C-alpha cells in the first residue's frame, strides 16, 4: 500500500544543473534544470499531488510564483518511472461491470429466465430410488478397509513387503477400474453423478497410494534404525515423544487415523498432521455461506449464460463455419472463465477451509498466488497445492531418485495428470475423446514456449490467455461430440 503523498523538497545539490532567470511577458521566470537522477520513483509517483502545506509555502514565498516549470517527463512515458495505476485498475473493474451488465441484460431479453434449481437435482438423480453415484461412494469404504488391514498385516510381519505391495496394487487398480465399469454399465448414472463418484474414487486412489508409501517409509526407517542399533549395541533413548502426543509407527495404524486422513483436505498422508487449536465458528459459518452462495451462482450462471451459448455453437461447429466458430468460442470464453474462477474460490478456498476448520486441520495452503504466474510451470506449481504436493512427493521425486532426468520425470507427471483429466471427463460422458488429455499434454510445449520467449507481464498474459481460451476449446469439443452422439437430430434446430 502506498502512503500519502510525500512533499517534494527543493534541495540545492550538485545534480541541479542550473537556475536561470528569463524575462517572459515582462515577468521574470526561474527555470530549474533538475537532473533526472534526483527524481526518484517514490517522489515521481506523487508528482501530481501537492500538499496543502507545500501550496501554502509557495504562496508565502514570492519567488515560488515565478517558477512553474521544471525539467520533467510526462507521466505516461516510461522514462518518468511512474507506476501508480490504481485508478486505471478501478476503471477496468467499472468497465468490466458495465459491459457485463449489458451482456446480462441482453441475455435476459433474449432467453428470459432459464435458471431452474429443480433441473439441477435431475443431473444427480435420474432414478431417485437407486442413486448409483451415492452407492458407489458408499462402496468405496471397502477399499479403505482393504488398505487398512493390509498395512496392519505388514506392520506385524504377517505379510511380506512383496505380498503387501501386490495387495495394495490390486486394491488401487480396482479403485480406478470398478467405478468405470459401474458408470459405463448402469444406465441411470448421469454425467454429473458419474463425474462426482469418479472424482471421489480418484481422490481415494491418491490418498491410499500416499498411505501405502508413508507407512512403507516408516517401516524402512524403523528397520534401518534397528539395524544400526544392533550394530552399535547401544540402548536408545526413546524418541522425544514421551512429553507430547506425537504418534509413531505403528501406533498410527488405527481406523480413526485413516478416516481422519480420508476426510482431511490433503492427498499426502502424515502420521502427525499440524492441527489448529480450536474451531472458529464464525470462520466456519462464513465458509459455509460462501459455499452455498457460490454453488447457486455457479449453477445459475451455467444455466442462464453458458448453456445458451453452447447450444448456439453447435450449428457453426457442425458446418465447420470457422468465423462463426471463433465468434462463439470467444463468446463462451467469458462465462467459462468466470465459472472457473468462481469454482476455484468455492472449492479451494471455501470448501477446503470449511472441511479443514471442521477437522482442525492446520495446513491451509491449498493454493498459492498462481494469478501472478509468469510461466506455465509456476501456474502448475501453485494453483492446486494438494495435487502438486502429491505429485512431488509420490511421483516426481521418487523418479528423480531412480535416476530419471528432470524432463522425463516432468513429462511422466503431466502424462499421469493428463490420464486422470481424461478419466474424469470421458468416462462420465461415456465417450472416449482425447481433448482433455491433449490439453494437459500441451502444457509441456506451452511451458517451454512461454519460458523461452515471453517474460514478465507478457508471460503472465500468456498464462491468462491459455486459461481463458484453452478451456472453452475443450468444453466446446466435448459438448459438441456429446450433442452429436445423443441429440444429433435436434442439432440443426438449435437457436442462433
Tell me if 415 contacts ligand COA by CB under 6 A. no
Q: Which of 400, 404, 438, 454 binds ligand COA (CB under 6 A)?
A: 400
Tell me if 313 contacts ligand COA by CB under 6 A. no
Tell me if 196 contacts ligand COA by CB under 6 A. no
Which residue lies nearest ligand COA, judged by its C-beta?
417
Tell me if 143 contacts ligand COA by CB under 6 A. no
Q: Which of 192, 387, 451, 473 binds ligand COA (CB under 6 A)?
A: 387
Q: Which of 211, 294, 367, 380 binds ligand COA (CB under 6 A)?
A: 380
Integer Cα distance of 355 and 283 in angstroms? 11
Chain center to CA of 421: 15
Tell me if 384 contacts ligand COA by CB under 6 A. yes
Shortest separation between residue 399's beta carbon and ligand COA, angstroms: 9
Q: Which of 53, 282, 401, 493 binds ligand COA (CB under 6 A)?
A: 401
Query: Which cell goes with 132?
Result: 448409483
Can you tell me whether residue 338 is helix, strand or coil? Answer: helix
- Cα 494 to Cα 101, 315, 316, 411, 480: the distances in Å are 25, 7, 10, 41, 12
Tell me if 375 contacts ligand COA by CB under 6 A. no
Residue with smaller CB distance to ligand COA, 44 or 385: 385
Shortest separation between residue 414's beta carbon and ligand COA, angstroms: 6
Query: Which cell goes with 226?
Result: 534397528
Is the backbone of residue 134 left (phi > 0), alpha (psi -120 to 50) or beta?
alpha
Query: Which cell goes with 221?
Result: 526407517
Tell me if 367 contacts ligand COA by CB under 6 A. no
Task: With beta carbons less than 8 A apart as the criterion, state whether 19 and 32 touch.
Answer: yes
Residue with smaller CB distance to ligand COA, 283 or 343: 343
- Cα 17 to Cα 32, 66, 70, 72, 433: the distances in Å are 8, 19, 12, 14, 71
Tell me if 377 contacts ligand COA by CB under 6 A. yes
Tell me if 210 contacts ligand COA by CB under 6 A. no
Q: Which helix (H) or strand (E) holds 381?
A: helix 376-382
Q: At what angle do helices 281-301 and 322-344 cross, to 10 degrees?
A: 170
Integer Cα distance of 27 and 23 in angstroms? 5
Tell me if 410 contacts ligand COA by CB under 6 A. yes
Shortest separation between residue 171's beta carbon and ligand COA, angstroms: 23
Tell me if 381 contacts ligand COA by CB under 6 A. yes
What residues pair up with 70 in beta bridges, in sequence order?
Answer: 32
Q: Which residues bind ligand COA (CB under 6 A)?
A: 377, 380-381, 384, 387-388, 391-392, 396-397, 400-401, 406, 410, 413-414, 417
Amino acid at each position: 500500500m502506498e502512503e500519502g503523498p510525500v512533499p517534494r523538497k527543493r534541495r540545492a545539490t550538485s545534480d541541479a544543473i542550473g537556475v536561470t532567470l528569463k524575462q517572459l511577458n515582462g515577468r521574470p521566470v526561474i527555470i530549474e534544470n533538475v537532473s533526472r537522477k534526483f527524481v526518484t520513483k517514490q517522489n515521481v509517483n506523487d508528482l501530481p499531488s501537492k500538499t496543502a502545506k507545500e501550496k501554502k509555502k509557495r504562496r508565502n514565498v514570492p519567488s515560488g510564483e515565478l517558477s512553474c516549470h521544471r525539467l520533467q517527463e510526462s507521466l505516461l512515458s516510461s522514462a518518468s518511472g511512474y507506476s501508480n495505476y490504481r485508478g486505471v485498475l478501478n476503471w477496468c473493474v467499472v468497465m468490466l461491470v458495465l459491459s457485463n451488465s449489458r451482456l446480462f441484460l441482453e441475455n435476459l431479453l433474449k432467453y428470459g429466465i432459464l435458471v431452474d434449481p429443480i433441473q439441477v437435482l435431475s443431473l444427480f438423480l435420474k432414478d431417485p430410488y437407486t442413486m448409483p453415484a451415492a452407492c458407489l461412494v458408499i462402496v468405496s469404504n471397502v477399499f479403505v478397509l482393504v488398505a487398512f488391514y493390509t498395512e496392519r498385516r505388514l506392520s506385524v510381519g504377517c505379510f511380506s513387503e512383496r505380498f503387501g505391495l501386490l495387495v495394495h496394487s490390486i486394491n488401487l487398480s480396482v479403485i480406478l477400474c470398478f467405478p468405470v465399469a459401474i458408470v459405463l454399465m448402469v444406465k441411470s448414472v448421469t454425467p454429473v453423478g458419474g463425474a462426482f463418484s469418479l472424482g471421489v474414487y480418484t481422490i481415494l486412489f491418491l490418498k491410499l497410494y500416499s498411505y501405502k508409501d508413508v507407512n512403507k517409509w516408516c517401516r524402512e526407517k524403523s528397520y534401518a534404525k534397528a539395524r544400526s542399533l544392533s550394530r552399535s549395541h547401544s540402548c536408545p533413548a526413546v524418541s522425544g515423544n514421551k512429553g507430547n502426543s506425537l504418534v509413531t509407527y505403528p501406533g498410527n495404524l488405527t481406523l480413526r487415523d485413516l478416516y481422519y486422513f480420508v476426510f482431511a483436505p490433503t492427498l499426502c498422508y502424515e502420521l502427525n498432521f499440524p492441527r489448529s487449536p480450536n474451531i472458529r465458528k464464525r470462520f466456519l459459518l462464513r465458509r459455509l455461506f460462501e459455499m452455498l452462495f457460490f454453488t447457486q451462482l455457479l449453477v445459475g450462471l451455467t444455466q442462464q449464460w453458458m448453456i445458451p451459448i453452447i447450444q448456439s455453437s453447435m450449428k457453426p461447429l457442425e458446418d465447420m463455419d470457422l468465423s462463426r466458430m471463433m465468434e462463439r468460442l470467444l463468446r463462451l470464453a467469458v462465462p467459462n472463465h468466470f465459472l472457473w474462477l468462481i469454482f476455484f474460490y468455492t472449492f479451494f478456498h471455501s470448501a477446503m477451509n470449511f472441511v479443514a476448520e471442521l477437522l482442525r486441520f492446520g495446513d491451509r495452503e491449498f493454493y498459492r498466488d498462481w494469478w501472478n504466474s509468469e510461466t506455465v510451470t509456476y501456474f502448475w506449481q501453485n494453483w492446486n497445492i494438494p495435487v502438486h504436493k502429491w505429485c512431488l512427493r509420490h511421483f516426481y521425486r521418487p523418479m528423480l531418485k531412480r535416476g530419471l532426468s528432470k524432463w522425463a520425470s516432468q513429462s511422466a507427471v503431466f502424462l499421469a495428470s493428463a490420464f486422470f483429466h481424461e478419466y474424469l471427463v470421458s468416462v462420465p460422458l461415456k465417450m472416449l475423446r482425447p481433448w482433455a488429455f491433449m490439453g494437459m499434454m500441451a502444457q509441456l510445449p506451452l511451458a517451454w514456449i512461454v519460458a523461452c520467449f515471453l517474460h514478465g507481464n507478457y508471460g503472465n498474459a500468456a498464462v491468462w490467455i491459455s486459461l481463458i481460451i484453452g478451456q472453452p476449446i475443450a468444453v466446446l469439443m466435448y459438448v459438441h461430440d456429446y450433442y452429436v452422439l445423443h441429440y444429433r437430430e435436434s442439432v440443426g434446430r438449435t437457436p442462433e
